[in-house]
Amino acid sequence: MNSRKIALKVLDEVLNKGAYSNLALNNAFKDASLEQKDRGFITEIVYGTIKYKESIDSIISLYVKDVNKIDRRVINILRSSIYQLKYLDKVPEYAAVNEAVGIAKKFSLSTSKFVNGVLRNFIRNLDKEPEFKKLNSKLAFKYSFPLWMVDFFINQYGSEKAEEILVGLNMTPKLTVRVNNLKGDYQEVFDSLKEKGYKVSEGYASPEAISIDRGSSIENNEFFKDGKLIVQDESAMLVSPLLDLEENMTVMDLCAAPGGKSTHIAELLNNKGKVLSFDIHKNKLSLIRENAKRLGISIIDARQQDATKLNEYLVNTADRILLDVPCSGLGIIRKKPEIKYQKTIKDLKDIRDIQIDIMENAWSYLKSGGVMVYSTCTLNKEENEYNVKEFLRKHENCEVEKIFIGNLPNFIYNEDGTLTILPNEFMDGFYMAKLKKR
């Protein structure tokens, strides 16, 4: 199977069957013997087509009366081909069109003629785009976001910040790794990666981060295998240090899988104390244990538990609690662009009940004088500041401890002392609040 056929298969899984792009890609690569450059090309087509689907559909509507009536698999042929023609410089027009027409022939001769006609029309009018009068529609087309989501960001952040968010969510994320201080020295790891041909730079926001721009697969690197580093986004790296950790503390991570933050907590404790890492999904506990073992961590106890259900045995037992709750994920669209099309306003509202239940239980587990850090990877203020405000109203023994971790252009220090991180090439969109139990 050639690269474009594999890309189309993945697009069908994601856009028509609701699969996650990263998992669908991994499954496709397992089933095919591919060179690295082919994997790169497939990944580019998949992520690029999903990222720009909204804009591409608007372009297709210039040449087709009703986009919604096109067979769901056929429209993905058009989408991926137009993505290559419009957004990729190195793909020859004839190659993109001929491949698309050839794939379309498996449906019927008329389908192949239809695909050929639309693509030829598009090539003759490469600069033609739909015209929009309103700002929200212009932004929706320019950055390829559903109109409701553009309106949502404008309503919460204003038009200027909303556009900054859309730009950030369309950026290609850098690969960042966190150096494990239990096993490795930062400078030693940094210099060795450089010597082995990786193009590396110091982290954008986290002192433990190394940004990797180019090099062979990091999972095959000896430092990764030896547990001297772990792949983690820089936004996520900033959460655990807010807990003010000291050796021999008991710390809970209530929504822990795959364990990046739990292992960071254990490292900051110098592997002395206890880290209880809970997750609702039993099959994900192995990820936490595997990461801990590779990193040389022995204090993590990974257990299955539904964080929305109160466990009376845990009441008043934790010195510190990390609460990285399930959320709408609007801050990680740059890594999972399908979130644009899989989420609805209703989803954003429904998730809040779960978050509030988890907060209430976590507060019961926290000792007096303890610290709880609440974090999300979303930019929805209702899941962030509004949840914290409501929690403070209900709990007189709770106070916000002001967060300050430096002045960066994508950091918003909110009036209540919490922090919102806007997405860019280095960081996911993120939110964190530090709560003290008086």
CA angle at residue 8 from 6 to 13, to 5 degrees? Answer: 100
Binding residues for S-adenosyl-L-methionine: 255-261, 279, 306, 324
Backbone angles phi, psi at 317, to 5 degrees: -115, -10
* Range list of H helices, 233-344: 234-237, 260-268, 285-294, 339-342
Owner of token pair 């991926």: 80
Tell me how far apart the alpha carbons of residues 285 and 24 are, in angstroms, rounded to a whole number.
Answer: 21
CA distances from 318 to 250, 274, 365, 369, 433 (A): 5, 10, 6, 10, 18
Binding residues: 255-261, 279, 306, 324
Q: Are 348 and 380 in contact (CB under 8 A)?
A: yes
* Tokens describing residue 81: 């081909």
Q: Are 190 and 404 in contact (CB under 8 A)?
A: no
* Tokens describing residue 143: 């950055």
Q: Is the dihedral of CA 21, 24, 28, 30 positive or negative?
A: positive
Counting every residue written for the chain, the total comes to 438
Q: Is the dihedral of CA 115, 117, 123, 126 positive or negative?
A: negative
Q: Is the dihedral of CA 48, 49, 50, 56 positive or negative?
A: positive
Question: Can you say how many angstroms the Cα of residue 297 is from the centroid of all Cα atoms in its chain?
Answer: 26
CA distances from 423 to 168, 198, 297, 427 (A): 5, 24, 31, 5
Q: Are 166 and 143 in contact (CB under 8 A)?
A: yes
CA atoms within 13 A on the CB side of 256: 33
Taking 3-state DSSP, the helix, strand and coil percentages for the chain, each rounded to the nearest 5, stand at 50, 15, 35
**Catalytic center residues:** 377
Q: Which amino acid is at 261?
A: K
